[in-house]
Chains A and B, each alone.
Chain A
Amino acid sequence: MNLIMFLILFPLIPAIIIRLIPSERVRTSTVLISVAIIAVASIFLAFSSLQSGCQYFKLPFKNAGTLITVAEIVLAVTFLFFCRRLPFRKMWIPVIIFIQYIPVQYFELSGKVPVPVNYLILDNLSIIMALLIGIIGGLITVYTVGYMPRYHKEHPEYKDRTSAFISTIFLFFFAMFGIVFSNSLSWIYFFWEVTTLCSFIMIGYSRTDEAVDNSFRALWMLLLGGMGFSVTIVYCSLNKSIGTIELSQITAMTNPMVMFPVVLLCFAGMNKAAQFPFSQWLLGAMVAPTPSSALLHSSTMVKAGVYLCIRCAPVLHNTSSGTTIALIGGITFVVASAIAASLSHGKKVLAYSTIANLGLIILCAGVGSSLAIWAALMLIIFHAVAKALMFLCVGTVDQQTGSLDIEKMRGLISTMPQLTLMILIGIAGMFLAPFGMLISKWAVLEALAEKNPFLILTVVFGGALMMFFWGKWMGTLVAVTGKHMNKEKYTGIYEWAALYSLTILTIGTCVLFPLTAVYFIHPYIMTIYPGFIGDPLFHHDNIIMVLIMLGFAIFLPLGFLVHWEKLHYSVPDLGGANVHDPERFMGSMGESREWHLGNYYLNDIFNEQKLLLPANIVTLLIISIMIIAVII
């Protein structure tokens, strides 16, 4: 309990220190020390409580409830403060704030909200999330320390507000730990809105017009999701047959009345997880400095959304609402993958692939069977690690070469060998057997096999598209162009430290996944499905097969280090029209000309403009129908 309170409250200290003391040296040392403390604390928490099942804790200290209520009001005022300069036609944004805060505050202040007994929760799901936030989030912060000075050197037109940025990251940790450890809905709601605030600040960091626009878009979209919470709290207070705002009790109920709040919570979760039709805020978040994208996409923010959906999964199991939520996840998976296949902008591809993977997790949560939850948790872990690595790598590539275009990354293996190797490991972790995500996809397919075939079709087609765009990217990286100019030397020590740690983590989570399953995931599933006796997928043969493949996949590439003898070097076949430079050929007029290669983007089939609008409309319709159906 003390450890939990420590994890939640500690990040506030560095947040305040960094905000108040502008010195760069103080900032760096504060970041390093606090990140180490948070990581160690979360690992210690994991080791001390892993086997102790699900624990609940009462109010940590007297008046904590009042404190949160006051903080909520302060938060609402802060939102309104940010909205003060909005033009008149955007004045509906503050209206959303009023609509959602006034009823909740009225209910809380007048004491109509039922008082929870257990405010905090600690089970394996919280531990997994805490580890992701503490370790991966921490590494991203370390990277930020090295990244930001360079970012400002490249963009002298932006005001240097690094200390605000980093202190926002710590505020983010505060909110994320709060979400994963809280059991009271009104607490989760508060922390939820703090993450909204943090992402608003981060997205608007550069204060260009585009950044400000995108940050306000993120604000209203995410506030819309918060609306799900406020309605849930009000509904739970009014409805006497529910009569509690404890998440653990709501998700354990068999009462059909509980479906409405659960669907609303999932609505909030899907909103935060950037599912269609709410994906735009996450795409808009790309204007912010890369570390914030890494943070939003991997361990925090979007993971809060899927976390909430997984909490609700037991209620959704075998219900029509659950299937509908799974359907939205499935549609998001396939459409986002298709759009990613048609894009060449590195960060955008990553963004859409995040949305797609989150769709897969939401799909699992909607299905809600034990195997599906197993797959969802595995996906969360693997995705967090690999995606953080990918974003940081791409950010570094961007700093060194000044381009995020995948086409311009051709031959990166010659110019940035270490970094390229890391990207390759990250990509392999994203879609190749026997690495992480593929294990999860395998589990998803096995979990879905008895379910509605439509869901399977979305997974199968989405998976193929995902393979296509990652495959293109991998291939582009490994092309050996022969330009040997090492561009890696300008990358700083903090960046390398974060990148290497994440690479090792990516490989580690893949190799150690049976242990993760046994020690982290199985105990959690046993608490919600007591009959669960370990994964049927993992009978003896399969696990041996996967481990053998892992062995090959890890040790075979070591052969690249060997210089094989008896090789005779030649130049590429250009129909005989070669000239001295392998990147040029002899044109028809006898002069040498450069040739260019470009990947297929299938733009006439999978097109962002073509797919986004229909997908948004369809998912919006499905969500509305689902909510209306639940009300009726």
Chain B
Amino acid sequence: MKALLGIFGFVIFAPLAGGILCGLDRIVTARMQGRYGPPVLQSFYDVLKLFQKQNLVVNRFHGYFLFCFLIFLIISGSILYAGDDFLMVVFALTVADMFLVMAAYSTNSPYSFIGAQRELLQMLAVEPMLLITGIGFYLAAGSFDIGHIVSVGKPLIFKMPGIFFGLVYVLTIKIRKSPFDLSTSHHAHQEIVKGLTTEFAGPTLALVEIAHWYETILMLSFVFLFFASQPVVGILLAILIYFIEIIIDNTNARVKWQFTLKSSWIVTLLFGGINLFILYILK
């Protein structure tokens, strides 16, 4: 019952929260650049507008790939909010991303193609850290079950600061912020048109936007898990982390994929790996 409530809450409220968060993101970004910025609800206007546009496609498959992408993203979040296995959340997330990559590949357009390649590279850079986070939770809390991780008395951040840092590092990649927004970027700065979303238009693009909201909330939920015993502090800190990501986004230029891959793997190995070893020895 509780699990169903969690899933229901996630499916309904995650896009709302994610959309508002993205709206705030744009305002904060604008203020940092000395501008006024759009209304808070701007992301919703964008998506609703996209649904009113013509459904322009290159072939009849890629829209459906994106639909699968969204569904699996929701499944991934639902597993998390149902309090199930953390590793399964990460695996479902990989499946979702795979659908996104395949959608971009299927368009057979050069810009989408490069975007898809870079998305794969980003997944390659991120996945180890996400799995290590799960194993860190296991060593620190004694279970992969998120229901169990949440019920641990002390905040887990004190046991796994290295893993936390590593996760925040790859979070930048995952929520598509500079300097790691290789595959596609939300803001007006772009180098390969719109990366892997180049060929998606109208309602199809709207699916990507909605998926992005879900993804943002999912990622911040990962951050929340580190402070799960104090929910209020946890939420505030998750928002703080998002704010820090915005600052990083606005103060950094995009880097090459080589740097993205190497640096995130080094951070994963150094911070995540060493933290794991310490947890293992302490156990």
Which A residues have a C-beta under 8 Å from some C-beta of B?
410-411, 432-434, 438, 442, 445-446, 449-450, 452-453, 456-457, 460-461, 463-465, 467-468, 471-472, 474-476, 478-482, 541-542, 545-546, 548-549, 552-553, 556-557, 559-560, 563-564, 566-575, 582, 595, 597, 599-600, 602, 604-605
Contacts and interface: CB of A to CB of B under 8 A. Distances in A.
Secondary structure at the B interface, as helix, strand, loop or mixed, is helix
Nearest to B58: A572
B116 interface: yes
Q: List the 6 shortest-distance A-B pairs measured between CB atoms, nearest first.
A: A475-B105, A572-B109, A433-B91, A453-B276, A464-B127, A480-B59
A495 B68 CA distance: 32
Contacts of B132: 456-457, 460
Nearest to A563: B60
Contacts of A582: 108
Contact of B57 (A468, A482, A570): A570
B131 interface: yes
Contacts of A474: 98, 101-102, 105
A573 B111 contact: yes
B135 A573 contact: no
A456 B94 contact: no
B63 A432 contact: no
A475 B116 contact: yes
Nearest to B194: A573
Given A480-B58, A480-B61, A560-B64, A573 B124 contact: no
A259 B71 CA distance: 51
A438 B273 CA distance: 22
A412 B262 CA distance: 33
B37 interface: no
B144 interface: yes
Interface string B108-121: 11111100110011
22 contacts: A411-B108, A438-B91, A457-B276, A463-B131, A467-B123, A467-B127, A468-B123, A475-B116, A542-B84, A545-B84, A549-B72, A549-B75, A552-B72, A556-B67, A567-B60, A568-B54, A568-B56, A570-B201, A572-B107, A572-B199, A602-B261, A605-B262
A588 to B, nearest CB: 16
A571 B68 CA distance: 23
Nearest to B3: A541
A150 B108 CA distance: 32
Contacts of A563: 60
A553 B138 CA distance: 28
A342 to B, nearest CB: 12
Contacts of B273: 453, 457
A548 B75 contact: yes
A410 B71 CA distance: 27
Nearest to A557: B68
B107 A542 contact: no
A573 B190 CA distance: 15
Contacts of B55: 566-568
A349 to B, nearest CB: 15
Given A478-B102, A564-B60, A564-B64, A446 B87 contact: yes
Contacts of B112: 572
B120 A471 contact: yes
Contacts of A450: 139, 283
Nearest to A481: B108
A253 to B, nearest CB: 30
B8 interface: no
Contacts of B135: 445, 449, 453, 456, 460
Contact of B280 (A453, A478, A567, A595): A453
Contacts of B101: 471, 474-475
B229 interface: no
A476 B105 contact: yes
Contacts of B121: 468, 600
B123 A567 contact: no
B193 interface: yes
A196 to B, nearest CB: 37
A556 B139 contact: no
Contacts of B13: none
Nearest to B144: A446
B17 interface: no
Interface string B189-201: 0000100001101
Given A566-B55, A567-B55, A460 B95 contact: no
B88 interface: yes
B109 A461 contact: no
B105 A442 contact: no
B281 to A, nearest CB: 9
Nearest to A544: B84
Contact of A467 (B60, B124, B201, B280): B124
B4 to A, nearest CB: 12
Nearest to A556: B68
A557 B67 CA distance: 10
A566 B193 CA distance: 26
Contacts of A560: 61, 64
A573 B139 contact: no
A464 B129 CA distance: 10
A12 to B, nearest CB: 45
A375 to B, nearest CB: 13
Given A475-B101, A557-B68, A567-B55, A464 B128 contact: yes
B82 A432 contact: no
Interface string B131-154: 110110011000010000000000
Nearest to A562: B64
A438 B104 CA distance: 24
A572 to B, nearest CB: 3
B106 interface: yes
A597 B192 CA distance: 14
Given A453-B280, A572-B110, A545 B128 contact: no
- Which of A541, A548, A566 neighbours the largest number of chain B CB atoms within 10 Å of its CB? A541
B108 A570 contact: no
B110 A595 contact: yes
A579 B244 CA distance: 45
A410 B105 CA distance: 10
